[in-house]
Amino acid sequence: MTRENAPRRATTPASAGRAARGAAQAGSDSSGAAPTAGKKTPTKKTQPNKTTAKKTGDEATPPRKTSSTSTRKASAPKHATSEKAVPEKAVSEKTLRDLERASGRLAQASVAAMEDELSWFGRMPADQRASVLLIAQTGAAGFVRWLRNPEHALELTTEAFRGAPRDLSRWISLRQTVSLVRLAVEVFEQQLPPFAADEAERAALVEGILRYGREVAFAAASSYAAAAEARGAWDARLEALVVDGIVRGDAEESVLSRAAALGWDPAANATVLVGTSPSDDPPTVVFEVRSRAARAGCPVLLGVQGTRLVVVAGGADDGQARDGSLLETLSAAFGDGPIVAGPTVGSLAEAHISAAEALSAMRAVVAWPTAPRPVRSADLLPERALAGDPSAERHLIEHIARPLEEAGPALLETVEVYLEVGGVLEMCARQLFVHPNTVRYRLKKAAELTGRNAADPRDALVLRVALAAGRLARSRGQW
């Protein structure tokens, strides 16, 4: 026994020594150990390497677990939204199938609650209530699909409004839609718990319907916002057509019908202003004009035609417009340059008259460099007549020249002489062989007939051009 055991004892230390020497040789650069380990180096190195690899693998296992754990934690945010909305496998497939089969019943229960609690809903026509029921059924079916795949919440919720009539936003306001969504969520919250198999599913369903209701409310708001933008763009185009029709003098029926669609009172007074657009961005111009018109308390129709801005102001008579309370407020929204206001007419059907005179005065205002801003088209009658405007010439003849001639030769002669002598009263009296008070009386009478005071330089120019136009018309046989 002792002899048999002796080699074993010797073998074990020798093996340990050789393993130790092999490990020492692998870790050292001793040249004396190289010949001894040269023959057995491959075998001895392979064995320790395997052992080392095994040990290293065993020791590296925890870090790999930590790494996989951290990887799962790092990838968790990708599905954080879906896991937070509805935990994975929180609702069984059987419950989902039961909910899908009961979607119609849930939608009908929601509509019934709307009829009971909302008085205005019962007064809606049958086709509109049917549209609401269709939306409720689509939303109930979408809720089941949303439970299966919460990541596509936006696509699923918009489907509830995609099949609805396009004019639904005109039937039901956004406030009423929010009330309908709130009632539907409450009904679903009451009806869903019986479908749950356990408490975990019940909590998941309640949390899911609350989050789905929020998504539906956002989808409804987006739908109404899109409808409002489309309606605003259509109203802007329609308003531009109305203003363009007024400028071109289109048929009254087409202008009035389009203006009525914009909410314009057809019996309201109208004054057309023409000037330069302050910006190349039409929405900016529209916002500025409407802001100032709201502060002035008057409705407006406006159109940006290139560099020209045309505004139709309503609700002010001629006296208010002449006072400047309205025109000066709106003039601040125009760009640099002259602004001309046409006469105030009694209705929108006559607005083309105001626009024609305003555009004619705009072409002739360059002849009066010191014209006020804004200036009325009636104050530019001399310049318009010189520019070849027949309506201005006719207005001067009918309202100035003819009344003076019909009043008698003495009154007409006094005005003509007074203008010829440069407005010197005594010189006019000497040429007429009358007393200066007589001249004063005749000039006052002429001012009452024509509305123009010969002593004022601007009115004197109007009287002079009117008398000249009357002589020309008489020589052509037009008067």
Instruction: List the chain domain ranges.
Output: 85-229, 259-386, 390-475
pLDDT band (50, 70, 90) for residue 279: confident
Residue pair 468/427 in contact by the 8 Å Cβ criterion? no
Residue among 332, 290, 335, 285 at smallest CA distance from 313: 290
Return mean pLDDT, the chain. 76
* Sheet with strand 375-376: strands edge to edge: 300-305, 308-314, 270-276, 340-341, 375-376
In this structure, what DSSP letter does residue 86 have?
A: S
pLDDT band (50, 70, 90) for residue 120: confident
Neighbouring CB atoms inside 10 A of 181's CB total 22
Q: Is the CATH code 3.50.50.60 the one for domain 259-386?
A: no
pTM value surpassing 0.75:
no
End-to-end CA distance of the chain: 160
CA 181 to chain centre: 25
**pLDDT at residue 308 greater than cutoff 80:** yes
pLDDT band (50, 70, 90) for residue 140: confident
Q: Which residues pair with 275 in a beta bridge?
A: 309
**pLDDT at residue 127 greater than cutoff 70:** yes
Structure tokens at 291: 């802001």
Pick the CATH number of 390-475 from 1.10.10.2840, 3.30.1490.20, 2.60.120.1090, 3.40.1380.20: 1.10.10.2840
Residue pair 361/355 in contact by the 8 Å Cβ criterion? no
Residue among 297, 326, 322, 287 at smallest CA distance from 309: 287
Question: What is d(CA 204, CA 150) in angstroms, rounded to the nearest whole number?
Answer: 12
